[in-house]
Amino acid sequence: MTATAVKTDYEAIIGLETHCQLNTASKIFCNCSTDFDSPPNTNVCPVCLGYPGVLPVLNEEVLAAAVKLGLAINGQIAPYSKFDRKQYFYPDLPKNYQISQFDLPIVEHGSLEIELVDKKTKEITRKTIGITRLHMEEDAGKLVHAGSDRLAGSTHSLVDFNRTGVPLLEIVSEPDLRTGQEAAEYAQSLRQLVRYLGISDGNMQEGSLRCDVNISVRPVGQKEFGTKVEIKNMNSFSAIQKAIEYEIERQIKAIADGEEIYQETRLWEEGSQRTISMRKKEGSSDYRYFPEPDLPPLEVSEQQKQTWFATLPELPSAKRARYEQKLGLSAYDARVLTEDRDVALYFEEAVNAGADPKAVANWVTQDIAAYLNNNRLTISGLALKPSALAELIDLITKGTISGKIAKDILPELLEKGGSPQKIIEARGLVQISDPDELTAIIQAVIADHPKELEKFRSGKGNMQGFFVGQVMKRTGGKADPKLTNQLIGKLLAQA
Amino acid sequence: MSLIRALHQQLIDQEISAVAVAQASLARIEAVDDRLKSFLQVTAPQAIAQAEKVDAQIAAGEPIGLLAGIPIGIKDNLCTKGIVTTCASQILRGFVPPYESTVTEKLQKAGAVMVGKTNLDEFAMGSSTENSGYQVTANPWDLTRVPGGSSGGSAAAVAADECLIALGSDTGGSIRQPASLCGVVGMKPTYGLVSRFGLVAYASSLDQIGPFARRVEDAAILLQAIAGHDSRDSTSLDVPIPDYTQALKPDLKGVKVGVIMDAFGEGLDDTVNEAVQTAIAKLRELGATIEEIHCPRFRSGIAAYYVIAPSEASANLARYDAVRYGLRAEADNLMEMYTHTRAKGFGAEVKRRIMLGTYALSAGYYDAYYLKAQKVRTLIKQDFDQAFTKVDVLVCPTAPTTAFKAGEKTDDPLSMYLSDLMTIPVNLAGLPAMSVPCGFDDNNLPIGLQLVGNVLGEEMLFRVGYAYEQATTWHDRQPDLSA
Summarize pLDDT for A7-46 with one digit per residue, the tens: 678 999 999 999 999 999 999 999 999 998 899 999 999 9
Nearest to B234 among A57, A94, A284 (CB): A57
Which chain A residue's Cα is nearest to B199?
A53
Contact B201 A89 (CB under 8 A): no
B482 catalytic residue (yes or no): no
SS3 B232: coil
| One domain, residues A362 and A247 | no
Q: B231–A55: do the CB atoms touch at under 8 Å?
A: no
3-class SS letters over chain A:
CCHHHHHHHEEEEEEEEEEEECCCCECCCCCCECCCCCCCCCCCCCCCCCCCCCCCCCCHHHHHHHHHHHHHCCCEECCEECCEEEECCCCCCCCCEEEECCCCCCEEEEEEEEEEECCCCCCEEEEEEEEEEEEEEECCCEEEEECCCCCCCCCEEEEECCCCCCEEEEEEECCCECCHHHHHHHHHHHHHHHHHHCCCCCCCCCCCEEEEEEEEEEECCCCCCCCCEEEEEECCHHHHHHHHHHHHHHHHHHHHCCCCCCCEEEEEECCCCEEEEEEECCCCCCCCCEECCCCCCEECCHHHHHHHHHCCCCCHHHHHHHHHHCCCCCHHHHHHHHCCHHHHHHHHHHHHCCCCHHHHHHHHHHHHHHHHHHCCCCHHHCCCCHHHHHHHHHHHHCCCCCHHHHHHHHHHHHHHCCCHHHHHHHCCCCCECCHHHHHHHHHHHHHHCHHHHHHHHCCCCCHHHHHHHHHHHHHCCCECHHHHHHHHHHHHHHC
Residue A31 contacts B where some CB pair is shorter than 8 Å:
no
Q: Spell out the residues 6+ positions from residue B411 whose beta carbon is closer than 8 angstroms to its own.
A: none
- For residues B342 and B91, is the Cβ–Cβ distance under 8 A? yes
The pLDDT value recorded for residue A3 is 47
**pLDDT tens for the 483 residues of chain B, in order:** 899 999 999 999 999 999 999 999 999 999 999 999 999 999 999 999 999 999 999 999 999 999 999 999 999 999 999 999 999 999 999 999 999 999 999 999 999 999 999 999 999 999 999 999 999 999 999 999 999 999 999 999 999 999 999 999 999 999 999 999 999 999 999 999 999 999 999 999 999 999 999 999 999 999 999 999 999 999 999 999 999 999 999 999 999 999 999 999 888 999 999 999 999 999 999 999 999 999 999 999 999 999 999 999 999 999 999 999 999 999 998 999 999 999 999 999 999 999 999 999 999 999 999 999 999 999 999 999 999 999 999 999 999 999 999 999 988 888 888 889 999 999 999 999 999 999 999 999 999 999 999 999 999 999 999 999 999 999 999 999 987
Does residue A309 fall inside a structural domain? no
Please report the pLDDT score of residue A5 as a whole number.
47
Q: Dump pLDDT digits (tens) for A157-197.
A: 899 999 999 999 999 999 999 999 999 999 999 999 999 99
| A191-207 pLDDT tens trace | 999 999 999 999 998 88
CB contact under 8 A, A54 and B85: no
A213 DSSP β-pair partners: A16, A231
DSSP code, position B53 = H
Question: Same domain for A349 and A412?
Answer: yes
Name the closest residue on chain B to residue A49, using Cα atoms.
B324
**Cα dihedral angle (B78, B83, B85, B91), rounded to 10 degrees?**
160
B75 is a catalytic site residue: yes
pLDDT at A483 over 90: no
- Distance from the B148 Cα atom to the nearest Cα atom in chain A, whole angstroms: 23
- CATH number for A459: 1.10.10.410
**Chain A with chain B: Cβ pairs closer than 8 A:** 105
Average pLDDT over chain A, rounded to whole?
A: 92
The pLDDT score that the predictor gives to residue A280 is: 78
Which value does ipTM take for this structure?
0.96
Nearest to B244 by CA among B3, B473, B466, B468: B466
- On whether both A322 and A369 belong to a single domain, the answer is yes
Chain A closest CA to B440's CA: distance in Å?
Answer: 37
Nearest CA in chain A to B123: A52
- Which listed residue (B150, B154, B180, B435) is catalytic? B150
Residue A214 placed within a domain: yes
**Final residue of a structural domain among A269, A304, A339:** A304
Question: How large is the C-alpha radius of gyration of chain B?
Answer: 21
Strands A80-81 and A124-138: unpaired
Q: Give the pLDDT of residue A151.
A: 66
Residue A2 has pLDDT above 60, yes or no: no
What domains are defined for chain B?
3-250+433-476 (3.90.1300.10)
- Let me know whether A37 and A166 are in one domain: yes
Q: B-side interface with A, Cβ within 8 Å? A: 77-79, 85, 87, 92, 95, 97-99, 101, 196-201, 203-205, 231-235, 311-312, 314-315, 318-319, 321, 323-325, 334, 338, 358, 361-363, 366, 370
Q: Please report the pLDDT score of residue A487 as a whole number.
A: 87
What is the tens place of the pLDDT at every residue in A213-236?
999 999 998 889 999 999 998 999
Closest among A184, A188, A190 to A241, alpha carbons compared: A184
Share of chain A above pLDDT 90, in %: 69
Q: How many residues does chain B have?
A: 483
Q: What is the pLDDT of residues B381-402, one digit of tens each?
A: 999 999 999 999 999 999 999 9
Could you tell me if A421 and A365 lie in one domain? yes
pLDDT, tens digit, for every residue of B201-220? 999 999 999 999 999 999 99
pLDDT at A405: 84
Q: Residue A50 is nearest to which of B197, B233, B319, comparing CB atoms?
A: B319
Q: Which residue of B has its CA nearest to A89?
A: B318
Q: What is the pLDDT of residue A283?
A: 61
Q: Summarize the confidence of residues A448-476 as an average pLDDT.
A: 84
Instruction: Give the angle A266-A268-A272 at the CA atoms, nearest 5°.
Output: 125
Q: Confirm if A454 and A479 have CB atoms less than 8 A apart.
A: no
pLDDT score of B158 = 98
**A368 plus A281 within the same structural domain:** no
* Alpha-carbon gap: B78 to the closest alpha carbon of chain A (Å): 8
Residue B102 is predicted with a pLDDT of 98
The reply to whether A178 falls in a domain is: yes
Q: Give DSSP secondary structure letters for B94-143.
A: T---SS--HHHHHHHHTT-EEEEEE--SGGG--SSSTT-SS--PPBTTBT
Asked whether the bond before B300 is cis by omega within 30 degrees of 0, the reply is: no
Residues A115 and A216 in one domain: yes
Question: What's residue A282's pLDDT?
Answer: 62
Domain of A59 in residue numbering reads as 3-304
Shortest distance between the Cα of B372 and any Cα of chain A, in A, equals 13
Domain boundary among A381, A397, A426: A426
Other Cβ atoms within 10 Å of A175 Cβ, number:
18
**Residue A1: its pLDDT value, please?**
41
A300 and A172 assigned to the same domain: yes
Closest CB to B92 among A52, A290, A296: A52
Could you tell me if A165 lies within 8 Å of chain B, comparing CB atoms?
Answer: no
Per-residue confidence (pLDDT) for residue A8, from 0 to 100? 74
Query: What is each CA distance from B466 to B164, B284, B392, B470, in whole angstroms?
Result: 18, 14, 15, 6
Q: From B325, which residue of chain A is nearest by alpha-carbon distance? A: A51
Residue tagged active-site, from B37, B53, B75, B117: B75
pLDDT at residue A7, rounded to an integer: 62
- Determine the residue among B103, B200, B320, B324 to mutate to test chain A binding: the one whose Cβ has the most chain A Cβ atoms within 10 Å: B324
How many structural domains does chain A have? 3
Q: Are residues A22 and A126 in the same domain?
A: yes
Q: Is residue A260 part of a domain?
A: yes
Question: With an 8 Å Cβ cutoff, is A57 touching chain B?
Answer: yes
Across the range A93-103, mean pLDDT stands at 98
What whole-number distance in Å separates Cα of residue A432 and Cα of residue A442? 12
Residue B127 catalytic? Answer: no
Helix, strand or coil, per DSSP, at residue B270: helix
pLDDT above 80 (res A139): yes
Which chain B positions have a beta carbon within 8 Å of A91's beta carbon? 321, 323, 334
Q: Is A49 on the interface with B (CB under 8 A)?
A: yes
Proportion of chain B in helix, strand, coil states, percent, rounded to 5: 45, 15, 40
Which residue of A53, A89, A151 is in closest CB contact with B198? A53
Please give the residue of chain A at the shortest CA–CA distance from B359: A288
Q: Is there a single domain that holds both residue A286 and residue A334?
A: no
**Where a domain ends, among A374, A402, A426?**
A426
Same domain, A127 and A204: yes
Q: Same structural domain for residues A191 and A280?
A: yes
Residue B292: which of B282, B280, B300, B302 has the closest Cα? B280
Q: Is A103 on the interface with B (CB under 8 A)?
A: no
Asked if the Cβ–Cβ distance from A97 to B315 is below 8 Å, we say yes
